[in-house]
Amino acid sequence: MAPRLSTDAEAPPEADRFEDAPHPREASAFIGHAEAEAELLRACASGQLPQAFLIGGPSGVGKATLAWRLARFLLANPDARAAAEGARNLHVPPEHPAARQIHALSHPDLFLLRREWNEKGKKHYTEIRVEDVRRAIHTFQQSAGRGGYRICIVDSAEDLNASGANALLKLIEEPPPRSVFMIVSHRPGRVLATIRSRCRKIGLKELGSADIADVVKTLGAPWSGAKPAEVAAAIERSRESLHGVLRLLNGRGLELDSSLRRILDDLPRIDWRAAHALADQVAPRDGGDDYETLLATVFDWLEAKVRGGALDGEGAPRQLAPYAEVWEKVTEAAQQTEALNLDKRPFVLALFADLAAAARASSL
């Protein structure tokens, strides 16, 4: 049985929710992937629904939204074949009893596998553990509560540890009747090959600028209240990454991004007064959004230097190597800072120093 959401204001955050944005299960609209949705609808209409789907694509493209959309359709329609034959899409009205239960994570035939909250450490576990998968196995050994489907959503495959992935494989290999697994993956090529071989692959492509703008309008405040010019600027700066757009439109995101890009564009020279001001802004515990925006902008900048230079032929390997090396160094330092809950200010200042050193080395 899926865990119930607490109505307590102190309820722990959800690992599969992007910051303060609506959770994918709360989305009633599905934008930009009509072909993928039509493929799932045809699978329902065929009467031979695969036991597992691997829904892959870039982060923030709508994979989880599609998985929850199919889950609602199947749980609202025990006779999915008949329902699909006359349907134009997988939409289920939000007021439908099954939709309400799914929204509350209280449907008896739904199980969600995601990183759980560690109450002792006051943060999420870093992976989906084997004991989490075993709870799903116990659920799937029971009969479906309403004679329909039993659904398991895994969000995401990258979070499964090795033991958890093997336990999930055993469940998929011998699934109970009328069970469907929906596995969300940001890098489906890295999913355990034996799991991939037992799944029907659904690939979602990156959203275009117009689709991202349409998605932003559906999300509510503060994003839906952004001016068209702000949305357009966020889309351009984030290189059409939905998550990047949401960060830039939230709070001081665009302002922070502009300040950071001025520092990056001036490398190897550094305005240390501006660098210290940025470190002070993102270091507080309540500055999580600003910190994530900083990391995203830095990694986008490094990616443009490394991959852009390699693709257009303007950068020799010797010139690109310092950026690739600092990319790896910053990634490792960011992970350590997060894992050990370290002060972010020293990390940010060291980051600027490392970027400046890479820029100098690249120009030699």
The answer to whether 240 and 206 have CB atoms below 8 angstroms apart is yes
pTM score = 0.83
- pLDDT at position 352 is 97
Report in angstroms the alpha-carbon separations of 152 from 71, 97, 182, 288: 9, 19, 6, 30
The verdict on 194 and 272 lying in the same domain is no
Total domains in the chain come to: 2
The answer, yes or no, to whether residue 8 has pLDDT greater than 70, is no
pLDDT band at 144 (very low <50, low <70, confident <90, very high): low
The verdict on 59 and 191 lying in the same domain is yes
- pLDDT at position 146 is 61
Q: What is the CATH number of the domain that holds 97?
A: 3.40.50.300
Q: Per-residue pLDDT averaged across 10-26, rounded?
A: 87
The verdict on 164 and 43 lying in the same domain is yes
The answer, yes or no, to whether residue 3 has pLDDT greater than 60, is no
pLDDT, tens digit, for every residue of 233-287?
999 988 778 888 998 898 888 999 999 999 999 999 999 999 999 999 999 877 6
Express as a percent the part of the chain with pLDDT over 70. 93
- Answer yes or no: is 135 within a domain: yes
Count of beta carbons in the 10 Å neighbourhood of residue 41: 20
- pLDDT at position 247 is 86
Domain that holds residue 144: 24-203
pLDDT band at 147 (very low <50, low <70, confident <90, very high): low
Give the Cα separation of 80 and 178 in Å (integer): 11
The answer to whether 287 and 281 have CB atoms below 8 angstroms apart is yes
- pLDDT at position 12 is 85
What is the DSSP track for 125-155?
-SSB-HHHHHHHHHHHTSPPTTSS-EEEEEE
- pLDDT at position 350 is 96
Interior angle at CA 255, CA 250 and CA 261, nearest 5: 120
The verdict on 275 and 199 lying in the same domain is no
The verdict on 67 and 171 lying in the same domain is yes
The verdict on 45 and 192 lying in the same domain is yes
The answer to whether 205 and 61 have CB atoms below 8 angstroms apart is yes
The verdict on 304 and 194 lying in the same domain is no
Q: Is the peptide bond before 363 cis (omega within 30 degrees of 0)?
A: no
Q: Is 203 helix (H, G, I), strand (E, B) or coil?
A: strand
- pLDDT at position 132 is 94
The answer, yes or no, to whether residue 145 has pLDDT greater than 70, is no
Q: Which residue has the higher pLDDT, 97 or 311?
A: 97
pLDDT, tens digit, for every residue of 79-92?
999 999 989 999 99
